[in-house]
Structure 1
Amino acid sequence: MRFRNVIREYFTFTRNERLGIIVLLVLIGLGIAANQLVFYFEKPAKIDPDELDELMLVLDKRRKDEQRAKGVLFTFDPNTIDSLALDSLKLPLRIKRNLLKYRDKGGRFYKAADFGKLYGVTDSIYAQFEPYIVVEKTFSHKKVPKEITREKDVLSDKSKKRYQAPVHHEKEMPDLIELNLATPEELVILYGIGEVLSKRIVKYRNLLGGFASLEQLNEVYGLKPETIKKILPYLELDTSLVAQININFAETKELARHPYITWDMARALVDFRSANGFIHDLQLVRLNGLINDQDFRRISPYLKTKE
């Protein structure tokens, strides 16, 4: 009997308590319904193709930077892989250097097993990379018999009179091109720069707000270091054309839109400004640990504190 009274005491509600429970259940139901109605009536945002393209370039660059830092495995030809792709390969740094030195001295790989003979490549490293090595059959180390060589020389001498090699005309190179003002049509005449790369350079320049250094060309997706080296003599750079962001007035979203500024960096800048007032010296950003020294060197040309 006593046990029944205890149960009744704890599980019997007064009229006001029952009314409160009903009101709470109604509020919960309204909250669930309102949450569903928001998604039902919300209209999808319009997508700007240009902004989407720019965002994809930034994301692709960041993804490649992360891959380069970690290293990945992919098929490669040790005879032709360039330094940029080699930098992304998950291979010990000492072996990458040895491979480049070996090629610079005229060394060639004729089969995958030759990679295992490279200085620094252990059996375990070779076993890991062997499935990814693809050597093109373009080099031959077999000696040509002297008789065949003489016959080939005689035939070539006779054919020289009947055949004349066509003359290949190179692009007519300009004196100098201002990189921060150049159009895709102007850039396309540079060595190794086609329509795709010229548009990509201009698009990335606009995304940055202008190039602050010619070295930033290395950040353009698909632009190889050897191509950059050949076009640098034909480029000049006016850094006064670089668009700067005023960190005393810019909001988080505006700051984070820049390729060099992450959302966390932008939020830290805005929070610091809100707590301490206007920033009169850019060095305060670095000294207060809002941006590390390496990022500060890249970002500072695009920031200002005064109009």
Structure 2
Amino acid sequence: MNFKTLALHFKFTRQQRTGIFLLFLIIVMLQLVYFFVDFNLDEKNFQEENKWTSLQSEIDSLKLAKYNERPHVYKFNPNFISDYKGYKLGMSTQEIDRLFAFRKENKYVNSAEEFQHITGVSDSLLNVISPLFKFPEWIQKKNNFKVDKKEFVQKTDFKKEKIVILDINQATQEDLIKIYGVGEALSLRILKQKEILGYFVSMEQMNDVWGLSPEVIAELKTHFKVILPVNLKKIAINDASLKELSQFPYFRYALAKQIVTARSMDGNFENIEDLAKIKGFPVEKAKIISLYLEF
């Protein structure tokens, strides 16, 4: 083939060359669009939408299950009803006050009928709340008597259960869980508090354990008491270093520093009253703190 003849096929006018260049540019642009534009975007959006829809459906079903779930009702000892508890049960202020006055005499109601007699609640309210009452086991095991021609016939033999009072400093988790209202979590908190302090010096320290209600504390005081260890090691307040004082749970570092400063400037402390004069000293716990100190 003659190359000159072949070259004649590649001779173009200026307008033709411009058209070919534009055509080539359009082809290149279409190729770039094909490679860089994601044509599956709608499909991805649809998948994401399905995922969120299914998640929302699951959330809605959980909300509906929680809404339809009946709240668990716990039984309680009516002797230890608080103002708020009585209000929630539907008792009037006067009825709650009558129960408090009865309890101040160190007396206890032992049945739903006695509760109604003391408080004066209506029959309708008693029928609603009495199934929630839970009395101690020894009350439930009381002898049942019936009257027949003025003679009492004993149905069952009953011996009153004697309450054994234990040392709170020697109590185990099993001992604490036996108390009504004390579960695994609260028993561990009591033991943790004893570990922090080293030992308890007063049952009033139960008030410092988070989560213990007044009713549970009263039960603990019934079954436990404080017996101080024989080898009790107290803190020598007039000789202890700043480090030793700051490690005492009832003192903060700032208070320990003030104690050391006051001791060096004014001399030794004679009693807890001298110590309580320091600014920031927890005066309300002075009696308990004094049992840990040696003057």
Q: State the TM-score, normalized to the length of structure 2.
A: 0.42
Larger radius of gyration: 2
Which has the bigger relative contact order, CA under 8 A and spacing at least 6? 1
Q: TM-score, normalised by structure 1?
A: 0.41
